Amino acid sequence: MTTVSATRPERMTRASAAVRKPLLKVEGLNKSFGRTVACRNIDFTLYPGEVIGIVGESGSGKSTLLNCLSGRLAPDAGSIAYDLRRGSEDAPLVDILTLSEPERRMLMRTDWGFVHQNPRDGLRMAVSAGGNIGERPMAIGARHYGDIRREAEDWLARVEIDIDRIDDKPRVFSGGMQQRLQIARNLVTRPRLVFMDEPTGGLDVSVQARLLDLLRGLVRDLGIAAVVVTHDLAVVRLLADRLMVMWRGDVVEAGLTDQVLDDPHHPYTQLLVSSVLQA
Amino acid sequence: MTLGMAGRPTARIEVEGLTLASAAGDILVNDVDLAVSSGEIVALVGESGSGKSLTALAILGLLPRGIMWRGGRVRLNGTDVTGLAGPHASIRGRQIAAIFQDPQASLDPRWTVGRYLTGQFRRYGATSQRAARAAAVDMLARVGLGDPARILGAFPHELSGGMAQRVMIAGALAAGPQFLIADEPTTALDVTTQAQILDLLEDLQADTGLGVLLITHDLGVVAEMAQRVAVLYGGTVMETGEAADVLGAPWHPYTQALLASMPDLAQPAPPRPISGSPGDRLAAGTGCPFQPRCRDAIALCAQRPPSVVVSGSHRAACHRSEPRLPHGFGGDKTQPQTSGYPLPAAGTSSAERRHVG
């Protein structure tokens, strides 16, 4: 045992505290629509900087789960505890369902991000690209025009959008550019947790590859934790450290992404993996 | 492909020099040649805006308003049926059927499946309502829907996506067509359902000797299904040939880049993106449409590329006379920044490209 305790702290240099404190802890989450059970007894823990993928077919409950986690939908039962770092670094996790509306809104604008499948749901199409990026800083008090614009320019560069396009409205952007702008808009406040709903759905393969590359880089560089919902196993293979497979409201298999995909145990996961067509 | 399967005569759709333009005069489909024989699955693959769906609609004579026919012929078994107009209108549905991407949108939400299917069979020859209903029950069983009686009474919203697509296939096959044009038939479906629908199409095709023109953006689907493939970009056929040749030894830089940009489930190495977006292309007819995004572009690419015979029926439209080292097939996928398609920020690619045109 002594050897273990001697090597452990070295391996965990990335974690700030000696004991890793979870960022998000979900326990016993249930959600039904009438008699249809969308999520049944979901438990999982997400650590800072970790990316978890949720895969499953349509109707498996993965999007409902994401909406519950991100505070957009109230679960029927269960708790979603998040590390708000209220007061001190080691303050206990707080159930987001107990937060007041202003507190929750603040959380969504600062510490959380949500990347929608359809950029139209996540962007203001009638506001310039720069304005889209500046909205979150402005919502939490930034007022200096020059600073906000500089920040917007910085983020456009990071998501590989030409700075000359800063005053263009997103509706004239291509699908891939809109999605990259949506990512910039979410990451500008340096959230610690980002929810993504099919972030590459609806994009052409050649464009999707670039977005995946970018997301991978940003998530790793900034140490962002993310919950990625997708039906595309190749996307989770690239982005996610861990994977949960949902089927009819249940998590039927969970584990390290490579482990689950290379050696699927549940019959549904096996079917899913074997259904993927490769060129 | 010489003898018809299941005792049917061999039929053939030939598209020659199909050229379509928008009302503003932009060429959307440029000089596309394509042929589908009964008993084979031919894939038309491309990204958005490549003209693959327009090509299908042109064959069906269903071009939306504002699309101008600039040239080209469609022949069915040697007869010119371009536009399926006038005396040829009855070919659509009877000899050439079609299914589309979103089955739920293709079905009338107010009609039960039974009303739709019996209507199809009445229209295509069933002499009585009773006979049409019996044929509908048979057909539902053939497309793999158990409990046909229940399905016949169901409305589209009560069906899952996979069931709705099976119903669409049943309706399309009601007239016993020789050809089926399937425009992204599985794009809206889950992977597991996609696999089932593709299996069904393959079985039906083998059973009935149907010729299938499969339109898709998914190279995985092409590899699984098609005997032959045409790769479209910017309305132009970039590469065509046997699917195994085109996907196994892609010759055109676009096909190579497209394959390299696909995430590979088998290896966690990142896919290599193609710079720019599918909207970046040279106006069709002036040069190679892929030139603005092509890593291998040379000055000559601003001119119309020749059709190079790679081997047998494998052809590519590219000025480069010898195949480049294929991207993504040399096992160097782990170093995307040095050997892959560099991102535009990487400088070198845009500098290289600027001397062109």
Q: Rounded to an integer, what distance in angstroms lies between the CA atom of residue A209 and that of residue A217?
A: 12
What's the rounded mean pLDDT across residues A201-212? 85
Q: Kindly state whether residue A173 falls inside one of the protein's structural domains.
A: yes
B260-316 tens-digit pLDDT: 888 887 776 778 888 887 878 877 667 899 998 888 888 888 888 888 888 889 999
> What's the token pair of residue B85?
């107009």
Give the residue from A63, A159, A164, A210 with the most B CB atoms within 10 Å of its CB, the best one to mutate.
Answer: A210
Start-to-end CA span in chain B (Å): 44
CB pairs under 8 A between A and B: 114
Closest to B263 (Cα-Cα) out of A279, A52, A244: A279
ipTM of the complex in this document: 0.77
Chain B nearest-CA distance from A182, in A, is 17
Chain B nearest-CA distance from A156, in A, is 12
Task: Provide the pLDDT for residue B345.
Answer: 35
Q: Kindly state whether residue A96 falls inside one of the protein's structural domains.
A: no
Q: Rounded to an integer, what distance in angstroms lies between the CA atom of residue B340 and that of residue B328?
A: 8
- Asked whether residue B343 carries a pLDDT value surpassing 90, the answer given is no
Task: Check if the beta carbon of residue B139 is closer than 8 Å to that of residue B176.
Answer: no
Task: Provide the pLDDT for residue B190.
Answer: 87
Lowest mean pLDDT among A103-112, B81-90, B203-212, B315-324: B315-324
Task: Provide the pLDDT for residue B350.
Answer: 33
Task: Provide the pLDDT for residue A46.
Answer: 95
Q: Rounded to an integer, what distance in angstroms lies between the CA atom of residue B117 and that of residue B137?
A: 9
DSSP state letter for B309: E
Distances (CA, A) of A139 to A179, B128, B261: 21, 68, 38
Question: Residue B321 — very low, low, confident or very high, per pLDDT cuts 50/70/90?
Answer: low
State the SS3 of B221-264: HHHHHCCEEEEEECCEEEEEEEHHHHHHCCCCHHHHHHHHCCCC
- Asked whether residue A48 carries a pLDDT value surpassing 90, the answer given is yes
Q: Which residues of A touch B195 (CB under 8 A)?
A: 274-275, 277
> What's the token pair of residue B111?
């009609």
- Cβ within 8 Å, pair B219-A279: yes
Instruction: For residue B10, give the H/E element and its range.
Output: none
Lowest mean pLDDT among A267-276, B5-14, B225-234, B301-310: B5-14
> What's the token pair of residue A276?
């993927």
Question: Residue A4 — very low, low, confident or very high, per pLDDT cuts 50/70/90?
Answer: very low
Find the closest chain B residue to A210 by CA distance.
Answer: B273
- Cβ within 8 Å, pair A234-B263: yes
Q: Kindly state whether residue A151 falls inside one of the protein's structural domains.
A: yes
What's the rounded mean pLDDT across residues B186-191? 87
Q: Count how many residues are written for chain A.
A: 279
Percent of chain B with pLDDT over 70: 86
Q: Which residue has the higher pLDDT, B98 or B7?
A: B98
Task: Provide the pLDDT for residue A279.
Answer: 73
| CATH architecture, domain defined by B5-226 | 3-Layer(aba) Sandwich (3.40)
- Cβ within 8 Å, pair B257-A206: yes
Q: Which residues contact B112 (CB under 8 A, 6 or more apart)?
A: B152, B153, B154, B155
Q: Which residues contact A118 (CB under 8 A, 6 or more apart)?
A: A202
Dihedral of the alpha carbons of A272, A274, A276, A279, in degrees to the nearest 10: 170
* SS3 state at B60: helix
Q: Kindly state whether residue A227 falls inside one of the protein's structural domains.
A: no
Q: Which residues of B touch A179 (CB under 8 A)?
A: none
Q: Which residues of A touch B45 (CB under 8 A)?
A: none
For CA atoms A90, A93, A98, A100, the dihedral sign is positive
What's the rounded mean pLDDT across residues B45-57? 90
Chain CA centroid to CA B262, Å:
18
Task: Provide the pLDDT for residue B143.
Answer: 92
Percent of chain A with pLDDT over 90: 68
- Cβ within 8 Å, pair B220-A277: yes
Q: Which residues of B touch A272 (CB under 8 A)?
A: 191-192
Find the closest chain A residue to B342 by CA distance.
Answer: A210
Average pLDDT for chain A: 89
- Residues paired with residue B43 on neighbouring β-strands, in sequence order: B214, B229
Q: Count how many residues are written for chain B.
A: 357
Question: Residue B203 — very low, low, confident or very high, per pLDDT cuts 50/70/90?
Answer: very high
- Cβ within 8 Å, pair B219-A207: no
- Cβ within 8 Å, pair B271-A278: no
Chain CA centroid to CA A200, Å:
13
Distances (CA, A) of B278 to A177, B254, B291, B354: 12, 11, 11, 19
State the SS3 of B94-158: HCEEEECCCHHHHCCCCCCHHHHHHHHHHHCCCCCHHHHHHHHHHHHHHCCCCCHHHHHCCCHHH
* SS3 state at A108: helix
- Cβ within 8 Å, pair B262-A275: no
Q: Rounded to an integer, what distance in angstroms lies between the CA atom of residue A203 and that of residue B8?
A: 41
Question: Residue A3 — very low, low, confident or very high, per pLDDT cuts 50/70/90?
Answer: very low
What's the rounded mean pLDDT across residues B314-339? 55
- Cβ within 8 Å, pair B270-A213: yes
- Asked whether residue A163 carries a pLDDT value surpassing 80, the answer given is yes
Task: Provide the pLDDT for residue A19.
Answer: 64
Domain hosting A145: range is 121-190
> Which is it for strands B41-46 and B96-99: parallel, antiparallel or unpaired?
unpaired
Task: Provide the pLDDT for residue B352.
Answer: 35
Q: Kindly state whether residue A106 falls inside one of the protein's structural domains.
A: no
Domain count, chain A: 1
Q: Kindly state whether residue A153 falls inside one of the protein's structural domains.
A: yes
- Asked whether residue A50 carries a pLDDT value surpassing 90, the answer given is yes
A165-179 tens-digit pLDDT: 999 999 989 888 999
Closest to B239 (Cα-Cα) out of B337, B311, B155: B311
Q: Rounded to an integer, what distance in angstroms lies between the CA atom of residue A24 and that of residue A51?
A: 12
Chain A nearest-CA distance from B282, in A, is 17
Q: How many CA atoms lie within 13 A of A95 on its CB side?
A: 10
DSSP class per residue in A24-58: EEEEEEEEEETTEEEEEEEEEEE-TT-EEEEE--T
Q: Kindly state whether residue A136 falls inside one of the protein's structural domains.
A: yes
Task: Check if the beta carbon of residue B237 is closer than 8 Å to that of residue B231.
Answer: yes
- Cβ within 8 Å, pair B277-A174: yes
- Asked whether residue B189 carries a pLDDT value surpassing 70, the answer given is yes
- Asked whether residue B89 carries a pLDDT value surpassing 90, the answer given is no
Chain B nearest-CA distance from A233, in A, is 7
- Asked whether residue A89 carries a pLDDT value surpassing 60, the answer given is yes
What's the rounded mean pLDDT across residues A114-139? 94
- Cβ within 8 Å, pair B265-A272: no
Q: Rounded to an integer, what distance in angstroms lies between the CA atom of residue B215 and that of residue A217?
A: 34
Q: Kindly state whether residue A183 falls inside one of the protein's structural domains.
A: yes
- Residues paired with residue A52 on neighbouring β-strands, in sequence order: A227, A242
> Which is it for strands B307-311 and B314-317: parallel, antiparallel or unpaired?
antiparallel
- Cβ within 8 Å, pair B277-A209: no
Task: Provide the pLDDT for residue B187.
Answer: 86
Q: Which residues of B touch A258 (CB under 8 A)?
A: 268
What's the rounded mean pLDDT across residues A77-94? 86
Q: Rounded to an integer, what distance in angstroms lies between the CA atom of residue A105 and that of residue B104?
A: 37
Chain B nearest-CA distance from A50, in A, is 17
Least CB-CB distance to B343: which of A160, A205, A232?
Answer: A160
> What's the token pair of residue B164?
């709705």
> Starting at the edge strand that comes first in sequence, how are the strands of the sheet with B27-37 ordered?
B27-37, B12-22, B67-76, B79-80
Question: Residue B178 — very low, low, confident or very high, per pLDDT cuts 50/70/90?
Answer: very high
> What's the token pair of residue B109?
């939400």
- Cβ within 8 Å, pair A233-B258: no
Task: Check if the beta carbon of residue B210 is closer than 8 Å to that of residue B201.
Answer: no
